[in-house]
Amino acid sequence: MQDNFNITMDQLRVGLYIHLDLKWFDHPFSFSHFKIKNEAQIKTIQSLGLKSIRYDPVLSDVNPLPQKTQQVQQTPVAAKPDISPVLAAKLALVERIQQQREAAVRVENAFVNTAKTIQGIEKNLYTMPAETVRKAGQLVDQIIDSLLSAPELAIHVMIGKAGAEEMYYHSLNVTMLSLMMARDIQLPQQVVSTLGIGALFHDIGHKEIPAKILMKKDPLNQAERHLFEMHCQYGVGIGQRLGLAPAVLTIISEHHELFDGTGYPSKLKGEAIGLLSRIVVIANHYDELCNPVNINDALTPHEALSTMFAKLRNKFDQKLLQVFIRCLGVYPPGTIVQFSNGVIGMVVTVNTAKPMKPLVLIYDADIPRDEAILVDMACEADANIAKAIRPAQVPREIYNYLSPRKRVNYYFDPSQPGQEQTAR
């Protein structure tokens, strides 16, 4: 690049922004261009066998050291041992990435199995009501046990092709996001169980609404809107016939009530809306923004959070909205981001204990998609997200590589999420 200049190894210093003209496997760093942070990095760079290196004066904090001309000819390329420290460091990084990839597959399988269980629950609700409600309670308790006992909670975005067009995925998303918030504010387990059942069954009244209204992509007319809004009352009626607890019925009734009194069906305001309902309202609204019936209206996870915070804040319990944002981070899973060094990637996992340090899938044209780099920002001092990017603004080859989901689904690692977030 025209803006970059070559310097020799003895000119390196902390604060220079350098480019390594090496394959990713030939150096131990997560990125091939970055700002030098310490003397240890300089020593590692000098051990790579390069005679010169490119630096970017615009992105650097300092100028290179003066060149020691008498030593220019005295830069022998060190003979590389069978397993050099550079290769050993890279292999350790690759091993960690492989563990992260295996965790993603495990989570994807758990997500699909849970979604299939929910599909069965919704299909059998009328034919085997008592047994189905029992299975729903069992499922929610299993999720809660895993979720509450995990030392850290890692929320993954599902990147595989899991058939997310199914409406029961919405129930699972709302349940997962609601329980995530409940964990953060440390609700008692019995209350969390009620929340989980209410979130799972919040849209049960949809069974009484014609599919042509539920699936209509154009805006509903006034009569259609009125009928659609009846799903809250219908849901309570179904829930009563199923013998659901009164606290669960309250969630079903109130999951569209808004804090400023503009919701439905009862236009409840503020704390007149139950605490558990206020949690579900936030999770439900977020998922509807990300996964609307008309996919062309979908917001990215980052846009959905930003919209709820900047434009719709008064419609939600603001303390709970802050909890929601704190858990998902400013860049929720599924967000395409650009790092300060220009690298583009997609957030695939957020550790709710460190929401500003997500796991990011990195685009690199030289590395096959199936072997893509995963950067754990908790381990990388050089990794800083500069901004979120709309998928439509991303070049086609990068978009295809990152494969952002048109419909965003979340799940957590049911097998000790803290393991994959361990820093080096």
What pLDDT, on the 0 to 100 scale, is given for residue 194?
97
pLDDT tens-digit series, residues 300-312: 999 999 999 999 9
Q: CATH class for domain 88-421? A: mainly alpha
Amino acid type, 250: T
Nearest Cα to Cα of residue 111 among 415, 384, 373, 396: 415
Q: 82: pLDDT confidence band, cut at 50, 70 and 90?
A: low
Distance between CA atoms of 401 and 288, rounded to whole angstroms? 26
Residue 350 has, within 13 A of its CA and on its CB side, a CA count of 24
Residue 161: pLDDT above 80? no
For the chain, give every domain's residue range: 5-69, 88-421
Helix (H, G, I), strand (E, B) or coil at 160: coil
Residue 74: pLDDT above 60? no
- Going edge to edge, which strands form the sheet with 52-55? 5-8, 52-55, 17-19, 33-35
Give me the mean pLDDT over the 190-195 stretch.
95
Nearest Cα to Cα of residue 124 among 111, 133, 115: 133
Burial status of residue 157 (CB atoms within 10 A of its CB: 0-12, 13-18, 19 or more): buried
Among the residue ranges 27-31, 270-274, 338-342, 404-408, the one predicted with the least confidence is 404-408
What pLDDT, on the 0 to 100 scale, is given for residue 418?
41
pLDDT tens-digit series, residues 368-417: 888 888 999 888 766 789 999 988 888 999 988 988 777 788 888 865 44
What pLDDT, on the 0 to 100 scale, is given for residue 95?
86
Per the omega criterion (within 30 degrees of 0), is the bond before 265 cis?
yes
